[in-house]
Amino acid sequence: MKKSIQAFFGAAAFLMLSGCMGYQLGGGRPEGIQTVALKAIVNKTGETALEQAVTHALRERIQFDGRLKLVDLADQPDGLIEVNLQSYQLIPIAYHDRRSATPDLYRLTLHADAGLIRTADGKTVSSSQSYGETQVPFQSDLTSAKRDALPSAAAELAKYMLNDLIDQW
């Protein structure tokens, strides 16, 4: 009796585990692409120095995600990521109670187009039109507030962009 119970549970465990064969945690990656390089980001907005924040955020996101290995262009990557920053918007969304013309809170939004290109054949594997945004509380001056909020918007942009580029459905 004891052996038949062990055999039953052993067979049940085998059947349950065999149903998970081939399953992997996390998303997939584009076929034939294991390493990527990030090309210089093109800033088509009127705001200067956005590309540095977006480059930093995208590099961090690729390394955090772990599905692709980030390498330099000289290391012969399997894929290239090209990014064009299309727009930068700073829109007031809340005002002081007593002074209705003075904004108290802004929304900073970045829009970008990106593409993942397979270096072997030059084919665009996937593309993305993404955005990242954050709220910017007005501080003593707007320049400092924008500078402090930019990394958060760039990180959100990098997250959405990378998911669009490498998640294969």
Give the chain as a 3 state SS string: CHHHHHHHHHHHHHHHHHCCCCCCCCCCCCCCCCEEEECCCEECCCCCCHHHHHHHHHHHHHHHHCCCEECCHHHCCCEEEEEEEEEEEEEEEEECCCCCCCEEEEEEEEEEEEEEEECCCCCEEEEEEEEEEEEEECCCCHHHHHHHHHHHHHHHHHHHHHHHHHCCC
Lowest mean pLDDT among 23-27, 58-62, 92-96: 23-27
Position 26 scores a pLDDT of: 55
Position 64 scores a pLDDT of: 95
In this predicted structure, the answer to whether residue 39 has a pLDDT above a threshold of 90 is yes
- Is residue 22 very low, low, confident or very high in pLDDT (cuts 50, 70, 90)? low
Choose between 94 and 39: higher pLDDT. Answer: 39
Domain architecture of the chain: domains with CATH: 29-166 (3.30.160.150)
